Chains A and B, each alone.
Chain A
């Protein structure tokens, strides 16, 4: 079966005088996935996002959006893209609803009910009539995401959406992004410095450094590369091992001295593992995926130092 790519970046180079921001970048995005764009400051993340949204033009190469790569076609297809680049476009003297209205008008969307729907979706339904200048950073980011969602985009581009947020704000935005992707089946390209956060949000990763794509990999691939495994703790270790061998038909496990059991190879089927254990009458006191962090994996890839 042919997989549908909604975006293809074909050997794109972006040159600013003597500085090459992007060098022969080739990326393909599939529908319904959350892509994490990882890179240091100045790696080319924002430049890439600006090229996709039409805020900048490539020096070489081409961009194909929803099958269109000509300028007129790209312009038309960009109406299917929502973006939040760096910080949200908000007028502090307007209320949240007025800001939504302004962007609904700019995008030429007649449906007025979308304003309330989206404000409700991002949890700002009760504060829609409050002036944006009185909003917290987290509320502004959520409003920015609501604005980016106005045209019912099929591709949502978020540049550092959790930058500067407190831990509560980070969790709010993470849950919101996951919910948007699940409920609307849209593709999300998200850049972040917050690698643990990105690890919990993205389904695929694009590692970019000095304007070049170093690696693209899926979450299972990353987990495999990070030597991830299931860590299970319970009071009946012998019974648990029996369940592994009889019901899961695997001997790929290790019992550690602290009593915890490490099970390899079942990361994608962890729900099934949990169900099998519980159905066998074992109540795990710990059931988690552990291994190297994204940060530990990412730093050597870009040639950085791993301090851990």
Chain B
């Protein structure tokens, strides 16, 4: 299994797609911070929804399925999977799950760093939209002293957001093993993300369903510094369980399937 992970790292290091996506995410994250600062300072006068395309949620919903498509389906298209199959199908699914986590970490990292640096800078930022934990963190910078406890909690928050993203987007893993076409994985991942978001927005108004949605990574609750460490752990736990379930489904789909 380690050799499969090592091979994925080698591929990712050579991947122009990953470098391109990382560049786009970095530009968007920096632009978002500038816009957030400009709006708060009154230098920029735009409606929040006009810059929602720069938000982490929008970008991750598009870019991560694209990269998962390349990461997993690429092996089927290039036939590298023929060599990997002697390591066992469970090892393939496990290594791809870990590589997926790594890809999510890499792609979210620009937002994490921009939010962290912006928060520490103590500058003034607008929240812009209420659904992003990063803009929320930026906007709350004035409310907290930058002592070690706060910094530690901020790191915990940022780590939680990464795992939450991995949980939300882990649906792409079984989809990739089932359809094996990068374009389809991207399309299904993006459409699924938007449909679930819309469905959750509707269901959250219904009592009882709200608690149920909170037990999934698709909750619309923004992770803030006001939440306790226990709530972070709960979010991480839910996301990890979701990733494990998705990997399990991927294994069941791939276990006895034909490899072209």
Set A53, A57, A75, A102: member contacting B256, Cβ < 8 A: A57
Q: Is the CB of A102 within 8 A of B86?
A: no
8 Å CB interface, B1-30 against A:
2-4, 6-7, 10-11, 14, 16
Q: Which residue in B7, B16, B80, B85 is a CB contact (below 8 Å) of A54? A: B85
Q: A79-B86, A93-B16 are in contact. List 13 more A-B contacts (CB 8 A).
A: A53-B82, A88-B79, A89-B80, A89-B82, A89-B83, A91-B78, A102-B10, A103-B83, A105-B3, A106-B3, A106-B83, A107-B86, A108-B87
**Contact residue range for chain A?**
20 to 34
Name 29 A/B residue pairs within 8 A (Cβ), A-sorted. Answer: A50-B258, A50-B259, A53-B82, A55-B260, A75-B86, A78-B85, A79-B86, A81-B86, A85-B82, A86-B79, A88-B79, A89-B78, A89-B80, A89-B82, A89-B83, A91-B11, A93-B14, A93-B16, A98-B14, A102-B7, A102-B11, A103-B80, A105-B6, A105-B7, A106-B3, A106-B7, A106-B83, A106-B84, A107-B3
Could you tell me if B7 and A56 are in contact, using CB atoms closer than 8 angstroms? no
**Shortest distance between the CB of A98 and any CB in chain B (Å):** 7
Cβ–Cβ < 8 Å partners of A87 in chain B? 79
CA gap between A58 and B27 in the complex, in Å: 51
For residue B88, CB closer than 8 A to chain A, the reply is yes
Contacts of B85 in A (CB 8 A): 53-55, 78
In the assembled complex, which residues on chain A have CB atoms less than 8 Å from the CB atom of B258?
Answer: 50, 55-56
Residues of chain A in range 58-100 having any CB-CB distance to chain B below 8 Å: 75, 78-79, 81, 83, 85-91, 93-94, 98
Give the residues in chain A near B2, CB-CB below 8 Å: 108
Residue A193 is within 8 A (CB to CB) of chain B in the complex? no
Chain B contact-residue range equals: 20 to 34
Provide the bound-state CA to CA distance between A81 and B82, in Å: 11
Across-interface contacts of B260 in A (CB, < 8 A): 55
- B residues sitting closer than 8 Å to A (CB atoms) are 2-4, 6-7, 10-11, 14, 16, 78-80, 82-88, 256, 258-260
A101 CB within 8 Å of chain B: yes
Q: Contact residues of A with B, CB < 8 Å?
A: 50, 53-57, 75, 78-79, 81, 83, 85-91, 93-94, 98, 101-103, 105-108, 147
Majority secondary structure of chain B interface residues (helix, strand, loop or mixed): helix
Neighbouring A residues of B16 by C-beta, 8 Å: 93
A-B contact count (CB 8 A): 64
How far apart are the CA atoms of A91 and B256 in the complex, in Å? 27
A-B pairs, top 9 by smallest CB distance, nearest first, are: A89-B79, A108-B3, A78-B86, A55-B259, A105-B7, A106-B7, A106-B83, A89-B80, A79-B86
Q: How many whole Å from A71's CB to the nearest CB in chain B?
A: 9
Which chain A positions have C-beta within 8 A of B88? 75
Contacts of B87 in A (CB 8 A): 106, 108
Could you tell me the distance between the alpha carbons of A135 and B79 in the complex, rounded to whole angstroms?
18
Closest residue of chain B to A55 (Cβ to Cβ) is B259
Q: Which residues of B contact A106 (CB under 8 A)?
A: 3-4, 7, 80, 83-84, 87
Give chain A residues whose Cβ lies under 8 Å from the Cβ of B86: 54, 75, 78-79, 81, 107
**Which residue on chain B has the smallest CB distance to residue A74?**
B86
Minimum CB–CB distance for A166 against chain B, Å: 23
- A90/B78 contact (C-beta < 8 A), A55-B259, A56-B258 known: yes
